[in-house]
Amino acid sequence: MSFVEYGDTIQEGDTAIVFLGHESMFPVKVQHGSKTQTKTQILYSTDISLITMMLELKPGSIVCESGTGSGSLSHAIIRTVAPTGHLYTVEFHQQRAEKAMEEFREHKVEHLVTVKNQDVCKNGFGVSNMADAVFLDIPSPWEAIGHAKSALKVEGGRFCSFSPCIEQVQRTCLALEEHGFTEINTLEILLRVYNVRTISLQIPDLGKAAEDNSNPGFDSSNQANQGVMCGSQQQGTAQFKSGVPLREMVGHTGYLTFATKSLS
Amino acid sequence: MEGSMGLGARIQEGDCAVLKRDEVFKAVPILKRRKVIFEKQWFYLDNAIGHIYGTTFEVTSGGSLQPKKEIEEPTTETKEAGTDNRNIVDDGKSQKLTHDDIKALKEKGIKGQEIVQQLIENSTTFRDKTEFAQDKYIKKKKKKYEAVITIVKPSTRILSTMYYAREPGKINHLRYDTLAQMLTLGNIRAGNKMIVMETCAGLVLGAVMERMGGYGSIIQMYPQGGPVRAATSCFGFPASFFNSLYEFPLSKVDSLLSRTFSIETLPSESEDNIPAEEESNGSLDEKPASIQETEEESTTEATMEGNQTEEQETMDLAAEDTENKESKEKGNKENIREKQRKQQERRKKLVEAAALLKEKNADGLIVAGRFHPTPLLLSLLEFVAPSRPFVVYCQYREPLLECYTKLREKGGVINLKLSETWLRNYQVLPDRSHPKLTMSGGGGYLLSGITVVMDKGKSDAGRLEAQKTEEPTSKKRKLEELHS
């Protein structure tokens, strides 16, 4: 199974996604005799979408990334730059780097990615004047700005740094400015999900007016209110469809700082 | 050429480029001797031709563009600054230069930077302002008087930002981050076979094409009036990208699904069905009546004679080419031939599009338009293979609630999700970082899901999902009741 191509049938060795119901999906290795393993996955899909578009990634793009981490962004990048682009990803943790390489091989995308086990702040990405885009998700991104600049093409490219804390963002923006980056822009994106529910609200009993219907309140026999009432099985309820927000939502993932390296 | 920022691509005549000043964008065609207005300035683009995209220019008096040299740091020799504004009175009289004075400076051809300097020197309150206030003042004046424009290459990022800021009505108020979500949720990538139905001036189509890089195929469904691709042409895709771009009329979807579609039943090809960008074909001078008739005649001829006519036509065209330079009469005839040839091509492509759709194995569906999404989804999903994503955009939430309900009733989809994204911009400055003053109130809504193989009757997955979502949570209010 390849990450960059659709298949039609499930094959031995594939990683398939099992759907059990709302909010319950997990990956499963298709293998004779193996137990299902559940893996937690860090998913910043909302952030990944914005990053992909703001870095102007497309087939053929050359991208540098650090740190590789769980590889979730790495896979998204690979999927987008295939079949002619390439991802250079740098991870300073040896085991994580090895695990990433293994996964890329398993997913048959190793030809689209190069993993380097080094410290990007000290040694950079291992390429110069090659990248269309650079992405940083490290504790001290301001220390890697210089390397980012040299990794990017001479005629320019796009840059992005993801940081949870505003202090990191401040330092990063300052460093970007000092290195001559333009279009420096920080934003955050959050996902709001709605559950579609059919809601029934009870109509309160306000009693009946003695003689006439001078009460201008909600009259259940009123023509105009028929529409709201239709479909209710019980007397005195109004039913409607609603997009109900979840009780809790993700309030913060990280600040995304974008910039452009312009012509030197 | 492979998808990089252009390998130092140079601005060429005929390109669609984007002018940028701070956060403001405007798309313009690069044409010589054509006055362009942007951010209250008039200028010609002639001098820009030949420069690399990303170059910053200054507008000189006379309206010509000059590449800007390295930005020299503003001379803030005024180290003098106050501590707060308690004694600063805003009476509108602190600037000693009058409107006319400034105008005179401009007319003398004084550079913007110099004007800003003059304004600082002639402000009685400047040195009392705090450093931050001075900074803000300088930035504001620079923005007004320094006419610096960058010419950039179009991209989804730039065009979607531009359209949202300038003409949101044209794109159904689709905010750029919502578009970004669609591209990822829909797994748009090279090699896919995508179905796209949009009425966003072709912006969504362009974004899909950019992410597919010319690999795979796209079938654009269009309503009456033909597919609009104004924004698509702004991207500057190579011609090869359009070889795998098809279009198909929505009005024929039903017949395709009920297998009663045939090329014979096509509406007569009036100007309507020509993709909007073609209409600027200069040769379409001679109008209707006689040409219409000839069109219809030759159309039926064409369908009957098939290949033969094509050959005949190309031979004719070749023959005509040589006599081309002669009289207008010949010119007219050629117009008709050209039209016929184009029509043939379009019909051919239409048949191909129908064939592609009939395979019912598309890798995904994107819907983003002014139409109610429910009928679109219910029919267009038929053309999508199982285990593939689909995304629907709607400016409003309610139609998607209905869509969700109908899809669940129908079955064949899982992981339905109704969402919107919340986007906030920040000002990041030392000791002055905070979210920006205004933010977008809404960027539209998305309904996404994955197709699955349909069981007979209601699918198990559908039932499962129904059970899960309709189960009351422990904290449910007594007044709420759910109906499955």
Of B119, B153, B187, which residue sits at a domain end? B153
pLDDT at A255: 95
Q: Is residue B422 part of a domain?
A: no
- CB of B421 closer than 8 Å to CB of B178: yes
- Among the four given CATH numbers 1.10.10.10, 3.90.1170.50, 3.40.50.150, 3.40.50.920, the one describing domain A45-191+250-261: 3.40.50.150
Task: Give B-chain residues touching A239 at CB under 8 angstroms.
Answer: 483
**C-alpha to C-alpha distance for A260 and A39, rounded to whole angstroms:** 36
Structure tokens that stand for A39 in this block: 């893996």
Asked if residue B42 and residue B53 are part of one domain, the reply reads yes
Low-confidence ranges of chain A (pLDDT < 50): 35-41, 226-234
Across chain B, mean pLDDT equals: 81
CA atoms within a 13 Å half-sphere pointing along the CA-CB vector of A173:
23
**A141/B contact by beta carbon, under 8 A:** no
Across chain A, mean pLDDT equals: 85
Asked if residue B1 and residue B146 are part of one domain, the reply reads yes
**C-alpha to C-alpha distance for B317 and B334, rounded to whole angstroms:** 8
The interface residues of chain A toward chain B in range 91-120, judged by CB-CB distance below 8 A, are: none
Q: Is residue B55 part of a domain?
A: yes
**A2/B contact by beta carbon, under 8 A:** no
pLDDT at B77: 55
Question: CA nearest B439: which of A71, A101, A187?
Answer: A187
**C-alpha to C-alpha distance for B176 and B163, rounded to whole angstroms:** 9
Q: Judge whether A72 is annotated as a binding position.
A: yes
pLDDT digits (tens, 9 = 90+) for A39-81: 333 657 899 999 999 999 999 999 999 989 889 899 999 999 9
- CB of B362 closer than 8 Å to CB of B219: yes
Q: Is residue B186 part of a domain?
A: no
Give residue for tokens 């065609």. Answer: B29
Is pTM, for the whole model, over 0.90? Answer: no
Asked if residue B160 and residue B91 are part of one domain, the reply reads no
Full domain range(s) for residue B268: 156-167+197-283+302-360
Total beta-carbon pairs less than 8 A apart between chain A and chain B: 199
Asked if residue B350 and residue B264 are part of one domain, the reply reads yes
Q: Is residue B7 part of a domain?
A: yes
**pLDDT range class, residue B393, cuts 50, 70, 90:** very high
Q: Is residue B367 part of a domain?
A: no
pLDDT at B114: 82
**C-alpha to C-alpha distance for A63 and A67, rounded to whole angstroms:** 13
**A1/B contact by beta carbon, under 8 A:** no
Asked if residue B87 and residue B235 are part of one domain, the reply reads no
- Rounded to the nearest angstrom, the minimum Cα separation between A212 and chain B is 30
Give residue for tokens 């044409």. Answer: B31
- Start-end of CATH 3.40.50.150 domains in chain A: 45-191+250-261
Positive or negative CA dihedral for B187, B189, B191, B193? Answer: positive
pLDDT at B314: 42
Give how many domains chain B has, as a whole number.
2
- CATH number of the structural domain spanning residue B74: 3.10.330.20
Q: How far apart are the first and last CA of chain A?
A: 43
φ and ψ of B5, to 5 deg:
-70, 5
Question: CA nearest B413: which of B463, B359, B357?
Answer: B463
Q: Is residue B410 part of a domain?
A: no
pLDDT at B199: 97
- For residue B271, give the DSSP letter: G
pLDDT digits (tens, 9 = 90+) for B402-420: 999 999 999 999 999 999 9
pLDDT at B302: 36
Task: Give A-chain residues touching B479 at CB under 8 angstroms.
Answer: 200-202
Q: In B306-391, where does DSSP find H-type helix?
A: 307-323, 328-358, 373-380
pLDDT digits (tens, 9 = 90+) for B218-258: 999 999 999 999 999 999 999 999 999 999 999 999 999 99
pLDDT at B246: 96
Asked if residue B160 and residue B135 are part of one domain, the reply reads no
- Rounded to the nearest angstrom, the minimum Cα separation between B350 and chain A is 26
Closest Cβ opposite residue B4 in set A50, A61, A262: A61
pLDDT at A33: 55
pLDDT digits (tens, 9 = 90+) for B275-331: 444 333 333 333 333 333 333 333 333 333 334 444 444 444 444 455 555 666 777
- By the 10 Å C-beta count (0-12 exposed, 13-18 middle, 19+ buried), B297 is classed as exposed
Q: Cα–chain-centroid distance for residue B481?
A: 43
Least confident of B43-52, B164-173, B468-477: B468-477
**C-alpha to C-alpha distance for B157 and B235, rounded to whole angstroms:** 11
pLDDT digits (tens, 9 = 90+) for A102-118: 999 999 999 999 999 99
Q: Is residue B379 part of a domain?
A: no
Task: Give A-chain residues touching B7 at CB under 8 angstroms.
Answer: 155
Asked if residue B354 and residue B262 are part of one domain, the reply reads yes
Q: Judge whether A212 is annotated as a binding position.
A: no
Asked if residue B342 and residue B204 are part of one domain, the reply reads yes
pLDDT at B465: 53
Closest Cβ opposite residue A243 in set B6, B53, B397: B397
- CB of A160 closer than 8 Å to CB of A48: no
Q: Judge whether A211 is annotated as a binding position.
A: no
Asked if residue B117 and residue B203 are part of one domain, the reply reads no
- For residue A179, give the DSSP letter: T
